[in-house]
Every structure is written in structure tokens, then in C-alpha cells.
Amino acid sequence: MSTTVIQIITLITTAISFGTVILFGSLGEILTEKSGHLNLGVPGIMYLGGIGGLIGSFLYENASASPVPFVGMLVALAGTLICSVLGGLIYSFLTVTLRANQNVTGLTLTILGSGVANFFGGSLSKLAGGVGQISVPATSSAFCATQKLSDALVALVSKGASSSGFLRVLGGVLDGFDKVFLSYGFMVYVAVIIAILLSLFINRTSKGLNLRAVGENPATADAAGINVIRYKYLATCTGAAISGLGGLYYVMDYINGTWANDGNIEALGWLAVALVIFATWKPLRSIWGAYLFGALYWLYNYIPGLTRSMQEVFKMLPYAVTIIVLIMVSLRHKKEDLPPSSLGLSYFREDR
């Protein structure tokens, strides 16, 4: 394969594995925002999800003599869901029940989440014997395991590659297919499945219709007999759970079961919030949006001769694209592309 093709394939795979982190984050946020709640605590919740999973699997692997990867994975998932839903509960209790300002609450949650996560990340490092020593190899292996096309088949095709031009091309294609579509841990596919299910839920089910009504006009939803408070809580907490998976995926797969107090998750969390806007609150759009963000973010690696500062400019591209989308959306002014009408507003039935 030519180097250009290899480079393109690497960019795509980098984009997809990177994009999956923000895809989880944004899917959770889309669900939350559909209920009219702007949760700027996504970075914090992703932090909580990441550290929750790590703590769970770390304790399990330390307690067990020969940790089973699958069990480690389940423990990690449970840890993530518990921690991120807790984050979601804090947010929904403050904004739904106490009707606190959503922006302030969300930002506070981000600060809290990153603080808590980095605190426990530091503690785990200490337990593990020093910075950079945390490792959950068994659990991480369960997250990173890939299911490629039969290697034998690829080998066979490549073997015959020297003799036949057709087989050579076929081998290359198979290899490329493996790399582009099948070289990831299962969470990458889970993210896509969640996006599709979320889209079907929002657009095709009666509960999804109710949820949209709650986010558009809670007073109307209330008058129609919808339990607005319950929908808001459920959407916010489920959304937090999905966002938290992004943190888990980052910790277990993207950085292979370690921890670094480097603030990366927060940066990714903000990208996830930007992606919600980019995708105009549509889960399916956020799939390719996430991968596009990933590609744009890592583009600088594939452009030779960039200075350090130019690299940073390139990393800005996802945000620049989001701004362009915002401009386009407001120019087109299609009502279906606008955020939920009551986004950011708290609801109280007897408000006069």
C-alpha cells in the first residue's frame, strides 16, 4: 500500500477512536438537552465515569490473584455508571428540583468532577506505587480486544499476493477494511448503536415524543399529563450515564487502562458539548460529526512541517467548524435545527 493510503487509514482510525470519546459525551448531552436541561457538567461527568470505572477495576484486579477480563469489564462498567449517574443526580436535583441556574450548576459539576477524579486518580497512583504506575491490564484487554476478519484469510490472500494482481488488491482491501472498521474495542460499536437507538427513541416512540415536548415546552407537556419532573430526571441521569461511558472508554481503551492527571478528559468533554451543537441535537449526525472532529483534531499529525504553534491552531478546527455550523444554522433558520426551545429554563407549574 502506498504511504498516502496508509496515512489516510491511520487518520481515519485515529479519528474514530478519538471521536468515540466525544460521541459518548455528546449522545448523553443530546438526551439531556432534549429535556430542556443544558448540562455543562459533561466534562465533569466524563471524568467521574472514567475514574469510577478505573477505581472499580483497579480494586478488583488488586483483590483477585488472576483477574478475569470479562469480570473486570463488568466491574468497570458498574463503577462508571454509578459515578456518572451520581453526577447526573446532583445536577438534576439542583436544576430540576431546586431550579438552580443550569449554567452555573453545570460548570460547578465540571469543576467538581475533574477535582474528584484527579484526587482519586492521585490516590490510586499512590496505591499503585507512583505516578504512571496504575495499570489494569486484564480489564483493559477486555475493552481493547478486537475481532478482525480471520487473520488466516488475510494471510492466505497476502500469500498469493505475489502471484496474482487480483489477490494482491483483495488482500490490501481486506487489510484496509480490517484497519478502518474492525480495529477497535467493542465500545466504539456500542457508541454507534447507542446513537442509532437514541435517534429511534427520540423520533419514533411515544416516550421520545413526550421527551421532545418536555424540552420544547414543559408547560404544554405538563398540561398534556406528562410527568415533566420524571422525564427531566430520567433524561438527565441516563444522559449522564451515556456521557460517563465516554470517560470509561477513554481510560480503558484510548489510554489502555491507566490514569493521567492531565486534563485531557475535560478538553474532550468540551468538544462533546460543541459536538451537540454541531450535530444540531441529532444523534445520527453526531456519529459522523464525532469522527470529523477527530479527524480535524489530529489532522496536524499528517501535515508535514507544522510548527508547534500551528499544530495548536489545527486543534482548534473542530471549534471553528462548530461556529461555522452555528452561522449556517442561523442563516437557514430551519426550526428543526434549533436547540430545544426551553433549553436552560427551569420549570415550575405554578409560576405566574
Partner 1 sequence: MEEKTNVTAEKKKVTIPRGDPAVEMIGITKTFGSIVANSSVSLSIYHGEILSLLGENGSGKTTLMNMLSGIYFPDAGTIKVNGKAVSIRSPKDAYDLHIGMIHQHFKLVGLLTAAENIMLGLKGKFVLDLKSVRKAVRDICEKYGFDIDPDKKVYDMSVSEKQTLEIVKVLYRGADILILDEPTAVLTPQETQRLFGIIRNMKADGKSIVIITHKLHEVMAVSDRVAVLRKGVYIGDLATKDTNPQQLTDMMVGRAVSLNIERPEPENIRECLKVENLSVVDSEGVTKLQDVSFTAYGGEILGVAGVSGSGQKELLEAVAGLQPAKPGSSIVFTDMDGKTSSLIGKTPMEIKKLGVHLAFVPEDRLGMGLVGDLDIADNMLIRTYTEGNSVFVDMKRPRKLAQEIVKEFEVVTPGITTPVRKLSGGNVQKVLVGREISGNPSLMMSAYAVRGLDINTSYTIYRLMNEQKKRGAAVIYVGEDLDVLLELCDRILVLCAGRISGIVDGRKTTKEEVGLMMTHLPSEEAQA
Residues that bind partner 1 (CB under 8 A): 204-210, 212-213, 216-217, 219-226, 335-336, 341, 349-350, 352
Distance of closest approach, residue 222 Cβ to partner 1, in angstroms: 6
Distance of closest approach, residue 350 Cβ to partner 1, in angstroms: 6
Which residues neighbour 239 within 8 Å (Cβ) at sequence distance 6 or greater? 28, 29, 30, 31, 32, 39, 88
- Euclidean distance between CA atoms 220 and 282, whole angstroms: 23
Separation in Å, CA 243 to CA 146, 265, 331: 23, 11, 30
Q: Find cell 468497570 and name the residue.
A: 76
Contact status, residue 220 vs residue 86, Cβ threshold 8 Å: no
- Euclidean distance between CA atoms 241 and 212, whole angstroms: 19
Distance of closest approach, residue 223 Cβ to partner 1, in angstroms: 4
CB-nearer residue toward partner 1: 126 or 349: 349
Torsion of CA 138, 139, 143, 146, to 10 degrees: 20
In degrees, rounded to 5, the angle at the alpha carbon of residue 24 between the alpha carbons of residues 196 and 301 is 110
Distance of closest approach, residue 326 Cβ to partner 1, in angstroms: 19
Distance of closest approach, residue 28 Cβ to partner 1, in angstroms: 22
CB-nearer residue toward partner 1: 126 or 207: 207
CB-nearer residue toward partner 1: 160 or 208: 208
CB-nearer residue toward partner 1: 308 or 335: 335
- Euclidean distance between CA atoms 70 and 91, whole angstroms: 32
Distance of closest approach, residue 189 Cβ to partner 1, in angstroms: 24
Contact status, residue 296 vs residue 345, Cβ threshold 8 Å: no
CB-nearer residue toward partner 1: 227 or 311: 227
CB-nearer residue toward partner 1: 213 or 252: 213
